[in-house]
Structure 1
Amino acid sequence: MRENQLSSVEKRRIFLMLFLILLAFLGIVGKLFWIQIAATESYSSRGINLVKNSVIQRQRALVLESGRGEIVDRNLAPMTGKIVNALVAFPINRDYAMNQQDASQLVHLLQTSKEQWASFAKNLKEPQVWGTQDGGKPVQLNDQQVNGINGLGLSNVKVVQIEDRYPIGMTARQLIGFIGQNPDRVMQMYSSDLEKGKMELTSKIGGAGLEKSFDAWLRGVGETSISYFTDAGKRPLAGLDARMIAPDNSFYPVKLVTTLDSSVQQQIEALMDKLGIAEGAAVVQEAGDGDVVAMASRPNYNPLQVDLASNSWSNYAVKATAPGSIFKTVVAAAALDEKVVSPTETFDCKGALGKYGFTCWLKSGHGPLTMEEGYAQSCNIVFANVMQRLTAAQLETYANKLGVLNEVGWSGKTDMKTVLQQFDSEETGQLFAAHTPENDEGVLMQTAIGQRDVRMTPLQASNMVVTLLNDGKVYSPRVVKEIRYQTGREMEQFPVKTLSSEAGKISAKTSQTLLNWMREVVTEGTGQSLKGAKWALAGKSGTAQIQNGKQEKVNQWFIGYGPVESPQYAVSVVIKNRGPADSNKAIPLFKGIMDILASQGSKGSK
């Protein structure tokens, strides 16, 4: 009886085990069904796409367009992101490669040699654009080449449209900037997108210029790529061939609409190169509201191969440097508004002050000059004497009133709830260094002529002229006026802004007086070589002595406006690190820029 009972218990145990095994089997079957049929696109807690990962070993993809926003000028002419026809070659099994006849025809169409093509094709490990080896640019194909290559019907090459982000001949390179990999900044700025899988640590982001300032807008919503499918033996998979993958969003990529005139910009850069300017900058602003029409910097650089150790990618238009005598404009403004000098009073320039080793640039001396005449002749002795009647605090007040000590470029909160500074890495100006005895008479005299610790950016210098042209009102220059969706609808707008100082602004009378004095610089003073320009011009010259290592160098400046009768533009130029005996290139550059602007006729649409 006991044996039968034990047998019954064993039976129940066996039945229970079989039941559990059946449940486990059904669970596995159900899970496999869910993986293979119901949830192939988003299986696992990590959101892994199994279909995508099942073919990743046999898919060869190449990014054709980054999806990054386009930067355009005021007339919507593209400055970045040119789309060109190019040839893409895919690595496949040699048995499926082209025959000798096809290879010869392709080589002929590409205008290359058999050896160059063979070397290129032999080393293919991933899809490659013809012409981009070693960080080069794609070879742009013309219509005849495109039709010829398509007519060959080859299995391992394809003509595609590809984005050339930084095309040959691109202008405003330092202002536009570049993109590159920066894992630390990606983690700092885009940690949320990293967690969501929208970005990788190796994703390229803005590294400098507008690319950096407006990176949050320019990043876009996805890349356009071409994929080529092969099996494990690198044989093409029938029916798959090459597939284009692109984001389905009619609003992106956006357009960054700048205030630049690309035609003016291009001509100014060509002029700088013609004059052999190795190091310097030029800024053109509209007289009415301070909008930047052109901003050029030298030396130039390649945005695809950036040497961060060099300064070639740095935008010198927003970097502070010694201004020399253009700073006398600030001293004159203070003297006029504070009424410390009478219009008829004269100062005797004998070539030297008699103390502090202070001299005039004209060693023989100018003789007796009024402050007005001293401004036109850029006499150091006159302004040393004027500075004796002003304090360091007064000079700082007027430097602030004219906007030459702080960052002046457009900044403010945006619709994205972020604080934006349009000009990347813009520097502030400077009057005195940290430990300089500000009230020392010798220090003040050197400061009055824009030497010693004084620093100013070319953007601040041209904006100071805009301030005078607007009776003392200081504008905050912008270089981007709006961002548009791909559909043309406005996404974000950056309105014209002014800057206010706690000290107020200089008087309209003083502004007009200084503008008239700038006319005399050209008619009777140091800028007389500008008389032959297409427009009647006005301005102020400057030469700042600087120390470059053990060598004595100079910065050559000229700032001004034109045409005199109805001012349209304010311009500043600086040529840095010139030899003391070198010819002046600042005035010819200023004249050339003004002639370019005069030839443009109307200012164009805004």
Structure 2
Amino acid sequence: MRVKQLSPLEKRRIFLVLFAIILLFIGIVGKLFWIQIAATESYSSHNINLLRNSVVQRQKALVLDSGRGEILDRYLKPLTGKMIKSLIVFPINSKTQVDPQQVNQLVSILQTTKERWLDFSSHLKEPQVWSTAQDGKVAALSAAQESQIRMLNLPNVKVAEMEDRYPTGMTARQLIGFIGQNPDRVMSIYGADLEKGKLAITSKIGGAGLEKTFDLWLRGVGKTSISYFTDAGKRPLAGLDARMIAPDNSFFPVKLVTTLDGGIQQQIEALMDKMQIRDGAVVVQDAVQGDIVAMASRPNYEPTQVDLASNSWSNYALKATAPGSIFKTVVAAAALDEGVVNPKETFNCEGALGKYGFTCWLRGGHGPLTLEQGFAQSCNIVFAKVMQRLTAAKLESYAHKLGVLNEVGWTGKTDTKQILHQLDAEESGQLFGSHTPHDDEGVLMQTAIGQRDVMLTPLQASNMIVTLLHGGKGYSPRVVKEIRYQTDRVMETFSPKVLESEDGRVSAATSRTLLNWMKEVVTEGTGQGLKDAKWQLAGKSGTAQIQNGKQEKVNQWFIGYGPVASPQYAVSVVVKNLNPSESNKSIPLFKGIMNILASGSSDR
């Protein structure tokens, strides 16, 4: 048989094909070598750790500590919970032998039932923490329980220290806020960290309160987790028992040191709950420089199960609402400083003005009253007649001077030159609505008694008292005074700040006069329910009519200071959305808070 001879061109083509096959084979072998031997810990431009990922496939991990910074009160006591001993339960293969007697002992130690334990442990797909039956919270183990469980040496359980960030009974919840997932915010604020792999799109960040405003510091440098290694059959791997994985950094997480007194905060919230305050807020400020000592809001909420639609997580101490007669303080300040009223002059109150349907709260009228007496009795007619001598522009100027139209919370530059607003979602006050005619006489009279469009926050109200106590000089309230490293070395300090207004200040003489008039509110006026308080007190009451849907409701206010002889605290309280027929709750609440302050914190 004659064999066909290949042409030189065909020989060349065959050679090139064989050469390409050999190169491809060498490439595949080289790639496998690179993946399996040379680049197991840094594969591709993304530095993927293949060795670690191969282990992760059979590694079950549970986060014990988010690595998030602590929030402390002024005495360095934790406000965001603490580390507790907890029981970690791992999923294991059903064929793994567990001594039934040991299970019975564990059930007894945990003070539960065998049915509940088996129901919990036999269906696990990931490591889980043993929780209480009542509220599903992590069950904190005692030292005795920890010791007894360790002695059992069960293959699927381990005692470990775990963060209980939002514990049962936690106070100042609306001020502290919560953390949660917010992919849009993660991308907009932490895009650089996202690209570097320091943060995931699903990472939890501050969603409200201090958790949000100080998120940049509180985020920390990494979580602490416990990992348990199993084979494909969920059997524990020898030599790879449960291991703790934690960042090696002695400076983090940081400590956020607030100006709050945790003991006072707790007592005030307990008082609000005892008095069944459904909707309202309390602010307590240090009279020396306006620091926030306590800030409480109702209704309360659960930080681990936030219903964003309910608004119960909102801090009503920072939300503007109708103030009623406490706003008469601003009108009185304008009248005194502008000299439009003679101190001895009287205004006659017959219960109604005779136009605009404007009436006094006292139907029969107060008779002849000076401005001083009208302030003590909270007479609407007196303030309507005084407002006839003022302009809208003048009233607005004094509202600015007393800080009730502005965000007053501490704002400034940090050491990194960033603008920081310590208080999350603080609202501004309001004098007139956007379409309200400012110079209409009827509008001005309603405005003078804190009705119509007037809105201010409980923080602005208490801070107005601080401003008067300082002769017209206002402070910007702090709630965080410093940030510390874990070693207690100070990272950042937030010094007290004076509030500046383009409209200037209320005079010291007028400030003293108003403070004296506030004494008369208690001794002779609408605040006589405070006469038997532990301290001698002074202040101003207010009731604002509001419309809640189709129902008419009222806001009850009281703002003031104590003790009169040497003021230590400025306090504002508002009880919102009450039926007009309900008894006054603001004065008893104010009195109870002042009695707590007079006794001092019991948790120092």
Fold shared by both chains (TM-score > 0.5): yes
Name the % identity. Answer: 75
Superposed CA offset, 1:283-305 (max 9, x none): 00011111000000001110011
Counterpart CA distance in 1 for 2:564 and 2:94 is 72
Runs of at least 4 residues off by over 4 Å: 5-30, 132-135, 601-604
- Counterpart residue number, 2:294: 294
What are the residue-to-residue correspondences of 1:440-455 with 2, within 5 Å?
Answer: 440-455=440-455
SS of the residue aligned with 1:561? strand
Q: Are 1:189 and 2:199 counterparts? A: no
- Secondary structure of the 2:233 match is coil
CA distance in 2, matches of 1:97, 1:353: 88
Check if 1:95 corresponds to 2:111. Answer: no
- Cα deviation digits, residues 170-193 of structure 1 (max 9, x gap): 000000011111111112111112
Q: Take 1:103 and 1:196, find their aligned partners in 2: how far apart are those partners? A: 45
Q: Which residue of 2 aligns with 1:503?
A: 503
Summarize the Cα distance change of 1:261–1:99 in structure 2 as closer, same or farther, 3 Å threshold. same
Q: Does 1:411 align with 2:411?
A: yes
Greater alpha carbon shift after TM alignment, 355-364 vs 319-328: 355-364
SS in 1 for 2:57: helix
1:427 aligns with 2:423: no
Structure 2 residue matching 1:95: 3-state secondary structure: coil
Shift in Å at residue 23 of structure 1? 5.8
CA distance in 2: counterparts of 1:97 and 1:506, whole angstroms: 80
Cα distance per residue 1:279-337 (max 9 Å; x no partner): 00000001111100000000111001111111211100000000000000000000000
Give the match's secondary structure for 1:96. Answer: coil
Residue deviations 1:420-464 (CA, integer Å, cap 9, x gap) = 111111110000000111111111000000001000100000000
Shift of 1:52: 1.7
> Normalising by the residue count of structure 1, what TM-score does the alignment of the two structures yield?
0.96
The question of whether the paired residues in 2 share the 8 Å contact of 1:411 and 1:420 is answered with yes
Q: Provide the rounded CA distance (Å) in 1 between the counterparts of 2:98 and 2:382.
A: 81
Q: Report the equivalent of 2:542.
A: 542
Distance 1:115 1:330 in 2: 66
Superposed, 1:557-572 pairs within 5 Å as 557-572=557-572
Of stretches 215-224 and 452-461 in structure 1, the one that deviates more from structure 2 is: 215-224
| DSSP 3-state at the match of 2:531 | helix
Which letter maps to 1:432? F
Q: 1:456 to 1:97 in 2, by over 3 A?
A: farther
State whether residues 213 and 424 of structure 2, in contact with CA within 8 Å, keep that contact through their aligned partners in structure 1: yes
Partner residue, 2:585: 585
The question of whether the paired residues in 2 share the 8 Å contact of 1:135 and 1:304 is answered with: no
2: CA distance between counterparts of 1:599 and 1:472? Answer: 29
Q: CA distance change for structure 1 residues 502 and 560 in 2, over 3 Å: closer, same or farther?
A: same
**Alpha-carbon contact 1:97-1:155 (below 8 Å) kept:** no
Q: Shift of residue 35 of structure 1? A: 2.6
Shift of 1:212: 0.8
Contact 2:263 2:603 in 1 (8 A): no
C-alpha displacement at 1:195, in angstroms?
A: 1.4
Cα distance in 2 for residues equivalent to 1:581 and 1:321: 20
- In 1, Cα distance between equivalents of 2:333 and 2:482: 35
Structure 1 residues 481-533: Cα deviation after superposition (integer angstroms, max 9, x where no partner): 11111111111111111121111001000001100001111111111111111
TM-score normalised by structure 2 residue count: 0.96
**Counterpart AA for 1:252:** F
Q: How does 1:233-312 map to 2 (within 5 A)?
A: 233-312=233-312
- Mapped to 2, the partners of 1:13 and 1:582 lie a distance apart of 100
Q: May I ask how many residue pairs the two structures share in their alignment?
A: 602
With over 3 angstroms needed to count, the CA separation of the structure-2 counterparts of 1:495 and 1:603, relative to structure 1, is farther
Task: After TM superposition, give the deviation of residue 39 of structure 1 in Å.
Answer: 2.4
Residue 80 (structure 1) aligns with: 80
User: Compared with structure 1, are the counterparts of its residues 154 and 74 closer, same or farther at alpha carbon in structure 2 (3 Å cutoff)?
Assistant: same
Match for residue 39 of structure 1? 39
CA contact (8 A) 2:264 2:602 kept: no
Letter in 1 for 2:411: S
Does 350-359 or 37-46 show the bigger shift?
Answer: 37-46
Give me the whole-angstrom Cα distance separating, in 2, the residues matched to 1:533 and 1:488. 40
Contact 1:89 1:129 in 2 (8 A): yes
| Matched AA of 1:436 | T
Distance 1:343 1:603, change over 3 A: farther
8 Å Cα contact 2:264-2:601 kept in structure 1:
no
| Residues 81, 170 of structure 2: 8 Å contact kept | no
**CA RMSD between the two structures:** 2.1
Superposed displacement of residue 25, structure 1: 5.2
How far apart are the structure 1 equivalents of 2:581 and 2:322?
18
Letter of the aligned partner of 2:152 in structure 1? L
Q: Partner letter of residue 39 of structure 1?
A: A
Which residue pairs with 2:556 in the alignment? 556
Question: Does the 8 A contact of 1:97 with 1:156 survive in 2?
Answer: no
2:540/2:559 contact within 8 Å kept: yes
Give distance in 1, aligned partners of 2:533 and 2:155.
Answer: 61
How far has the Cα of 1:572 moved from its partner?
0.2
1:151-550 → structure 2 map (5 Å cutoff): 151-550=151-550
Q: Is the 8 Å Cα contact of residues 85 and 141 (structure 1) preserved in structure 2? A: yes
Matched to 2:126, the amino acid is: E
Rounded Cα–Cα distance in structure 2 between residues aligned with 1:11 and 1:549: 93
CA distance in 1, matches of 2:6, 2:304: 83
Alignment-derived partner of residue 113 in structure 2: 113
- Kindly provide the CA deviation profile for residues 381-435 of structure 1, in whole angstroms up to 9, marking residues without a partner as x: 1101100000000000000000000111111221233221111111100000001
1-side partners of 2:315 and 2:457: how far apart?
10
| Structure 2 portions without partners, runs of 5+ | none
Give yes or no for contact 2:262–2:603 (8 Å, CA) kept in 1.
no
2:380 is matched by which residue type in structure 1? N
303 and 360 in structure 1: CA distance in 2 versus 1, 3 angstrom threshold: same
For residue 73 of structure 1, what is the amino acid of its counterpart? D
Kept after mapping to 2: 8 A contact 1:428/1:456: yes
Counterpart amino acid of 1:46?
H
How far apart are 1:233 and its partner, in Å? 0.8
In structure 1, C-alpha distance between the alignment counterparts of 2:114 and 2:457, rounded to whole Å:
53
- Aligned mates of 1:523, 1:476 — CA distance in 2: 31
Contact 1:285-1:463 within 8 A present in 2 as well: yes
Secondary structure, aligned partner of 1:284: strand
- Residue matched to 1:67: 67
Counterparts in 2 of 1:8 and 1:16: CA distance versus 1, 3 Å: same
In structure 1, runs of 5+ residues without a counterpart are none
- Residues 61 and 570 from structure 1, CA distance in 2 versus in 1: closer, same or farther, beyond 3 angstroms? same
State the SS of the aligned residue for 1:570: strand
Q: 2: distance between equivalents of 1:329 and 1:603?
A: 35
